[in-house]
Structure 1
Amino acid sequence: MLILLTTILNDDSLECRVCIQGMTVVYDLIEDGATEELIEHYLEFACNMFEEGEWKEQCKVFIDQEYEKLIKILEGEFPVETLCTLMSACEYPLPPINGACDACMVGFTFLEDLWSQDLGIELMEFVLEYVCYIFPEGKWRDECDKFMDQEYEVFIKWLDNEFPPQMICTLLDACEFPIDPIDDGLCYFCEGAFTFLYDLFDFDLMNDQQIEAVLESLCGLFNEGPARQNCDKFIDQEYEELEKYIKAQFPPTAICALVGACDVQPPVYDTECEFCRIFYRIAVDFIDEDFTIAEVELLLDSICDVFVDVPKDDCQVFVNSHYEDLLKALNEKWPTETACEAFGACQAQ
């Protein structure tokens, strides 16, 4: 379980205790309406409280370089513990890190925690400049710095669109995404990808911009090469349909069949009754447990596309002939036999 910075800090060190005490006093000064000159003077005084050495000099450099942002951070009631950790005065309580995925999840869980406090883009950019200091000097801090240097702008976009740490770390190839659309086939990729997304995002709570950002980023789950190219092509071709189906919360099996990524087994039938039973069972499978009339309407407007080996006119005639009855039956979750008998497609036994 990851430990968030705003819960517990290892504040045993002199630097950490002095930093927290000093910044707490600065908060009090700001609340009392102190001038910037007085605040700056106190910050300089706080640095002088440390013994001569590396941390004292680092404190002074930090204050000099970041004074204006520091004032905004303090005015915004930024957590004292967080600020002192970014200044390297306090040690972040890292859980065990056994690889790049663990390290990435720690860093972005930390950032997600801060982003939820509505600090604003400017202060989050400041945090991103110093976030790597939650790691001790060495491999993981170096890897973190490398990530930030290469992907800084896209990090801001991902955080702004509320991408969870698991999504970000998979996009960065720090955490493994186990599906390859070339080796495993487009259907398996499609169902796996949208299952992955549904596990991470609540699309009911997302706006159009956020959904667009998710779909645009989806192919980044794959390394550069044929797999990503195939994915990009698929998303470009099916973007509008995918967006509609995601908003309607269609399950992955339905989405992937409706956009042609997965083939539905060709129905074998001789009568309207047999076709009705096949059609209705597929329609029921394609609707999530919690659905609206609008989602049922969208399904009925699209479902004939999955019957690739059935004359579309036959399917569309069936839907048009029983449209209102289909809406009612699917909305009320009628059993297949009850529905088809009510439509007049099958005779009562």
Structure 2
Amino acid sequence: MLNRRRFLLNAGAASLAAPLASMMLSRAGTAFAAEAGKPGEPGWRAFEVTTRVDLADAEGAAQLWLPVIQSAEGYQKASAPKWSTAADSARLAQDPTYAAGILHVNWSGEASPSVEMKQIVSTRDRDASQGLKATADELALELQPTPSMPTDGIVKATAMKIVGDRTRPEDRARAIYDWVVDNTFRDAKVQGCGSGNVRQMLETGYFGGKCADISSLFVALSRAAGIPARDVFGIRVADSGTFKCIGKSGDISKAQHCRAEIYLEPQGWVPVDPADVRKVVLEEKLPLDNPAVQAFRAKSFGNWEMNWVGFNSARDIVLPGGHEREDFLMYPCALTKWGTPDCLNPATFAYSITSREITA
């Protein structure tokens, strides 16, 4: 007999998908695409992404929050997720500020709490010509400071120093991009994707970090210079056609990656990725002035290779159920009687994420 508390959501479950009708990445359209993952469409690739979480040592009530892949107009189409769990409740939700899609799971006292979530997503390479527009309210939001990403004080002063007497937003954005690429470096010792603590980076003068640090620095400086900007948190799902180090397939449990967007007229949202430029320099052991790196650097202002999928652009959010986070939701997040397990430590928080390309 089927356990009455076991839930399985399919893509047609409109009653659960409806709260996610607002887009998180472009916030224009629906959160899920009806034909996501349909193979054979010219220029598109389809992937099945599976997340498995096991909270074997939870001992009592526990909660879990999983970031959900959502659609983004023009370059990413995600189906509604399907999941299975013996939890007391499992539901799709979104945070009210950024419309980030989240699977929220609650257990009251399972012996071995676990959940598996699957999604189909299709992607195509993105460039600035795809013309993703934004509302006035959305642009206002992406100019605001957050607790972990301020735009005043040393952030504002640094941004103004970088842009100088430039007045065109695109010129200002390119100056900030070049400054970030030239002055930061990828620090392999930093755990995960980093913390994105912009003020600390500027106050200490230590510009080493990972993608969340480098992207957040670019976003904060852009906002301080009057350019709407945002991080986009996601995960790599396939090997790269450019450099080996910026791709991952199969087991992608540690393949999370943060990118950035800026809003320019008349283009709309423009994709940017300064962090991967610094990753290529470190992991491919190439100097910044190497011709291949310089070509990649130029392309990374205005293009994303879509061997990666985006979850959300949320900063400093309150998760469903009232759990606060002063950073971002790119990894699975849990709360047990022991507190919040370290999502970067498999010994205390066992989960796996896998990607499989769908070709037929």
Classify the TM-score, shorter chain: under 0.3
Higher CA-based Rg: 1
Q: Which has the higher strand share?
A: 2
TM-score w.r.t. the length of structure 1 is 0.21
Whose relative contact order is higher, 1 or 2, with alpha carbons under 8 Å and at least 6 apart?
Answer: 2
